[in-house]
């Protein structure tokens, strides 16, 4: 066999599903469907609606409600594919593990590398949004603001974003205490933020003006698509439940349920909030607004009580996103390290808590630095494109496994396959091409770095290769 053939065989090798599920995993199975659903909602419902809404409305105008629907449909098709694969392959690696079983090692690496972008960068983006609402809350209560030098990244007129660092460090410490305690904390935080958004809707709808939706498409259909591509950031996280595959008590039954339930709940809330927000404040007024929902309440009530309550809810809400997405990032790296594609330190578990201690500290520290130094807009778009690429691979994986493993038991099956996964793939590609050139350049640079690491390290260290050479 020539060198080229050997390299081709290495990068295309697939990992059997039975090896991916790791029935003897050292992670502790402590989570039921309620915990898993709350992880998924907790990872999804946060900065996208509290902060990114203010950036997306100027792109789409009143059609922002339809932008949410378009982004939600895109997420739904991929969610159905995630649900099938999560029940079939209940492993910690999420779409990375699914790709390893279907598309080969190099595609699994690309998918895992995209998930590092999705989870790691989105935690940083969410932390930046948290800092904005902390500043808004401080201003509403005391009339003061944290100086830009200490609350903004260098690219946004500051020096270092201290609040963003603070929330990442707090979440990291909670995760180090163990998965079950983290899940309980997250459940409480989720109920608080759902309550805050319902309160916003109740107040904003009292100021609803139908004229704010005329014309519906002031920026055309392209504006609606651009808004949907930006808002897709709001749906990132529903797949977080799939990263808990080895910590769920009954993953084949509970993971698909958690993914579908969480997406339905989140989409309904998003559409209601967007409808209430634009109905209460003309879309042109969202330009340059960081804490958009708080601004809507301030302008329409003349009181600080509701904006203060909302800002408290937003701070709590975004904390739960940081917590759950950081959790997902550590579990993906845990799975990749166990396969040998990244250094083994990411797979070492703490003896008392059973969580990947060093992994959590390293990832948390890196994300804290990123959140301190990079502004929100660049982080959000980079996260969206990495996520869309990973989702596209999940839809492909469903089609392949239906052909290669037709008789394997599935606790959930995507309806109307392969049409539904193909639609999911098409929507993901469409949304990716709705993002800007700068985002694409950053994504391609990230991919180039990933290939360098893979061929310099991972292809030689992969456990499949080690096993084959023994």
pLDDT in tens, 351-401: 777 788 899 999 999 888 888 887 666 666 777 788 888 889 899 999 998
- 103-160 tens-digit pLDDT: 889 989 998 888 887 777 777 777 877 887 888 888 888 888 888 888 887 777 778 8
Model confidence at 436: pLDDT above 60:
yes
Q: Tell if the pTM clears 0.85, that is, is over it.
A: no
Query: Please, what is the average pLDDT of the chain?
Result: 83
Q: Where are the alpha helices (H) located in 292-375, listed in sequence order?
A: 292-301, 305-338, 357-373
pLDDT at 200: 93
Is residue 18 pLDDT above 50, yes or no? yes
More confident residue, 191 or 16: 191
**Mean local confidence (pLDDT), 233-255:** 75
What is d(CA 109, CA 116) in angstroms, rounded to the nearest whole number? 10
Q: Check: CB of residue 47 under 8 Å from CB of residue 54.
A: no
Alpha carbon separation from 37 to 171, 211, 231, 336 (Å, rounded):
19, 37, 21, 24
Q: Which residues pair with 248 in a beta bridge?
A: 31
Least confident range from 22-26, 177-181, 271-275: namely 22-26
Quick count: other Cβ atoms within 10 Å of Cβ 416?
A: 11
Does the N-terminal peptide bond of residue 63 adopt cis geometry, omega within 30 degrees of 0?
Answer: no
Cα separation, 159 vs 138, in Å, equals: 20
């Amino acid at each position: 066999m020539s060198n080229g053939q050997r390299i081709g065989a290495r990068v295309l090798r697939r990992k059997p599903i039975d090896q991916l599920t790791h029935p003897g995993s050292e992670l502790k199975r402590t989570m039921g469907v309620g915990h898993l659903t709350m992880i998924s909602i907790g990872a999804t419902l946060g900065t996208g609606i509290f902060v990114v809404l203010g950036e997306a409305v100027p792109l789409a105008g009143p059609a922002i409600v339809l932008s949410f629907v378009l982004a939600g449909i895109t997420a739904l098709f991929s969610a159905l594919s995630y649900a099938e694969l999560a029940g079939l392959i209940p492993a910690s690696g999420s779409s990375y593990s699914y790709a390893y079983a279907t598309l080969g090692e190099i595609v699994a690496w690309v998918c895992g590398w995209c998930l590092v972008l999705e989870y790691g960068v989105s935690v940083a983006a969410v932390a930046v949004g948290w800092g904005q609402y902390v500043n808004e809350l401080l201003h509403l209560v005391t009339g003061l603001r944290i100086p830009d030098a200490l609350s903004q990244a260098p690219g946004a007129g500051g020096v270092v974003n201290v609040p963003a660092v603070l929330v990442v460090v707090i979440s990291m410490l909670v995760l180090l205490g163990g998965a079950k305690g983290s899940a309980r904390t997250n459940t409480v935080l989720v109920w608080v933020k759902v309550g805050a958004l319902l309160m916003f809707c109740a107040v904003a709808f009292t100021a609803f003006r139908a004229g704010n939706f005329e014309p519906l498409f002031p920026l055309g259909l392209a504006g609606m698509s651009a808004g949907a591509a930006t808002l897709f950031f709001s749906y990132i996280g529903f797949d977080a439940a799939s990263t808990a595959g080895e910590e769920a008590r009954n993953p084949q039954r509970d993971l698909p349920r958690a993914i579908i339930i969480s997406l339905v709940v989140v989409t309904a809330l998003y559409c209601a909030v967007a409808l209430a927000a634009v109905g209460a404040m003309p879309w042109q007024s969202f330009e340059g607004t960081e804490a958009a929902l708080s601004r809507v309440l301030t302008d329409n009530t003349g009181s600080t009580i509701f904006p203060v309550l909302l800002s408290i809810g937003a701070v709590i809400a975004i904390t739960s996103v940081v917590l759950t997405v950081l959790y997902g990032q550590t579990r993906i790296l845990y799975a990749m390290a166990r396969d040998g594609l990244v250094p083994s330190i990411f797979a070492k578990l703490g003896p008392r808590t059973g969580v990947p201690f060093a992994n959590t500290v390293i990832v948390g520290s890196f994300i804290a630095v990123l959140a301190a130094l990079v502004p929100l807009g660049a982080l959000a778009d980079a996260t969206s494109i990495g996520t869309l690429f990973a989702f596209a691979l999940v839809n492909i994986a469903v089609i392949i496994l239906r052909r290669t493993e037709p008789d394997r038991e599935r606790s959930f099956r995507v309806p109307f396959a392969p049409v539904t996964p193909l639609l999911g793939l098409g929507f993901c590609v469409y949304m990716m091409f709705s993002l800007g050139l700068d985002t694409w350049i950053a994504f391609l640079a990230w991919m180039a770095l990933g290939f360098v690491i893979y061929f310099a390290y991972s292809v030689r260290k992969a456990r499949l290769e080690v096993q084959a050479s023994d």
